Amino acid sequence: MRQWRIWLVASLIMLGLSLSGCGGPKLPAVPAGAVVLAFGDSLTYGTGATADTSYPARLAAQTGWQIVNAGVPGETAAQGAARLAATLDEVQPKLVLVCLGGNDFLQRLPVAQTQSALREMLALLQARQIPVLLIGVPKLGLGLDTHPLYAELAKEYQVPLNDTLLEDLLAQASLKSDTVHPNAAGYQRMADELARQLQQLGAR
């Protein structure tokens, strides 16, 4: 009887751990051949590598999606917000990957301004019922910690977030072309990690 109780307690604990690990926002399945929008700045564009070794190109090769690279080097979050609606109208994506904010941090723009612009983009995507994966960018300062504004926005809009990819990648000199951009190997790592996460989220 005692052994049965121990087994029951252990099973309930494991069930609780399993359920807690399955929580959080998911993504709808995106079929092969569907159009996906990679929206961002130079990290999306592929600065530091070539067009065919950018993360959108490498992710497309892994997923079979038609990934449109809408990365604009030097762009701030506010500039991205200003062009998002027109880009969505043109591309009509089934999923959007948003990676913006790095230039805001480099230019030391007010955090509230960056957060407001990202909020505007997430609100637009939500209004159009377009799924999104938000990619967090490290803030300036010691270390490469992702700015907490991304976690706040992901919670507010209930969207999935990757807030470890870039901080891990940019901490490795062998994966960088300069202090803030990956090289071809780094963009491949981005694609690999995003493909893995997207599969876990149910998108593929």
How confident is the model at residue 142, as a pLDDT? Answer: 62
Tokens representing 107? 């230019």
133 has which bridge partners? Answer: 97
Q: What is the CATH number of the domain that holds 164?
A: 3.40.50.1110
Q: pLDDT tens digits for 41-91?
A: 999 999 999 999 999 999 999 999 999 999 999 999 999 999 999 999 999
Burial 97-134 (b: 16+ CB within 10 A, else e): bbbbbbbbbeeebeeeebbebbbbbbebbeeeeebbbb
What does the mean pLDDT of the chain come to? 89
Q: Does any domain span residue 22?
A: no
17 part of a folded domain: no
Q: pLDDT per residue over 123-157, tens digit each?
A: 999 999 999 999 999 987 666 799 999 999 999 99
Q: Residue 109 falls within a domain, yes or no?
A: yes
Residue 179 counted as domain residue: yes
Residue 23 confidence class, pLDDT cut points 50, 70, 90: low
Q: In terms of residue numbers, what domain contains 185?
A: 30-200
Q: Is residue 187 part of a domain?
A: yes
Which strands, in side-by-side order, build the sheet including 132-135? 66-71, 35-40, 95-99, 132-135, 161-162
CA distances from 122 to 3, 100, 183 (A): 51, 12, 29
- Distance (Å, whole) CA 172 – CA 175: 6
Question: Is the residue at 169 inside a domain?
Answer: yes
Q: What is the count of structural domains for the chain?
A: 1
Is 122 inside any structural domain? Answer: yes
What is the C-alpha separation between 144 and 169, in angstroms, rounded?
10
- What is the model's pLDDT at position 127? 98
Is residue 133 a part of any domain in this protein? Answer: yes
Q: What angle do CA 129, 132, 135 make, to 5 degrees?
A: 160
pLDDT at site 100: 98
